[in-house]
Amino acid sequence: MLQNIAIGQYVPGTSFLHRADPRSKMLFIILFAILVFLANNVITYAILIAFTVMTVMLSRLSLAYILKSLRPVWILVLFTVILHVLITKGGEVYFQWGWFSIEEKGVTQAIFISLRVSLLVLVSSLLTLTTSPIDLTEGLERLLGPFGRIGVPVHEIALMMSIALRFIPTLMEETDKIIKAQTARGANFTSGNLIRRAQNLIPIVIPLFISAFRRAEELALAMEARGYRGGVGRTRLRTLTMSWRDGSIALAACVLLLVIGWWRT
């Protein structure tokens, strides 16, 4: 029932992107975000689109699946497009009907904004699609490492993130199971007015909270039982290492930066 909601859920694999170091992927996304906002004409956007398509191919995931898994985002994009087309005015008037008009600026804005959001979301979803939660948090912890010296609890932040990521699929499964169990007892979640529908959620929300608390307690106990006491002096089973892949990502980043810098107006 809930199978299609997981945005950017990790899909195990062995592609170039799967094997690249999470740190280089994260740094690259930051750079890419900057580039997306630097791009301001047809050529630079075309370059970014071409590059994004290439990255998707490097992940060996089907574009159709990625696009489908990002469905909630597309609804948002569609909404902004409509808003811009209707509200932003200026330039040539394409269509006029009383006070209502569609004008050049509105259309170009809509196109650029939706392109920006789409490219950003696509590329960043590739990070979570191709990086396991463990690698993701370890990469984050290492990247944030320097901030630890000024008192930022980096290890704890990373741990919180990894626990959250780890339990998203579990809680979704749990939700699915509870919905089914209550449906089997005749619960109906799709009828009635708004208040009625909110009330209908109680049989799902309460068991879900209880199970989340129970899991949290069990996890805390299990961690303590195994002697966990924070990040200081902790060694790792697997350490991240950079490879030629990360070199090529860095190279691609430099090239992209130069090209966009050159062509933008």
Partner 1 sequence: MQITFEEVSHVYGVGTPFERLALQDVSINIPSGSFVGIIGQTGSGKSTLIQHVNGLLQPTKGTIRLGDVTVTPTRKLPHESRRNIGLVFQYPEHQLFEETVAKDVAFGPLNFDMPPEMAELRVREALEIVGLDYQEMKDRSPFLLSGGQMRRVAIAGVLAMQPKVLILDEPTAGLDPAGRKAILEAIYRIHREQSLTTLLVTHSMEEAARYADRLIVMAGGKVMLEGKPDEVFAQADTLRELALDVPETVSLISQLNRKLPEEQRLPSSVYREEELISHLLARISDRGER
Residues that bind partner 1 (CB under 8 A): 3-4, 11, 61-62, 65, 68-69, 174, 177-178, 180-188, 202-203, 206-207, 210-211
Question: Under 8 Å CB-to-CB from 118, ≥6 apart: which residues?
Answer: 77
Q: Decide: helix, strand or coil at residue 182.
A: helix
- Of the pair 79, 189, the CB lying nearest partner 1 is at 189
Strands (E), 29-143: 93-97, 100-103
- Of the pair 44, 125, the CB lying nearest partner 1 is at 125
Least distance in angstroms from the C-beta of 220 to partner 1: 19
- Of the pair 83, 187, the CB lying nearest partner 1 is at 187
Identify the DSSP state of 36.
H
Nearest to 7 by CA among 67, 49, 76, 55: 67
The alpha-carbon radius of gyration of the chain (Å, integer) is 23
Contact 224, 2 (CB under 8 A): no
Least distance in angstroms from the C-beta of 7 to partner 1: 13
Least distance in angstroms from the C-beta of 135 to partner 1: 18
Owner of token pair 């970014």:
48
C-alpha dihedral sign at 34, 28, 248, 8: negative
Least distance in angstroms from the C-beta of 198 to partner 1: 15
- Integer Cα distance of 122 and 55 in angstroms: 10
- Integer Cα distance of 118 and 122 in angstroms: 6
Least distance in angstroms from the C-beta of 249 to partner 1: 23
Least distance in angstroms from the C-beta of 90 to partner 1: 43
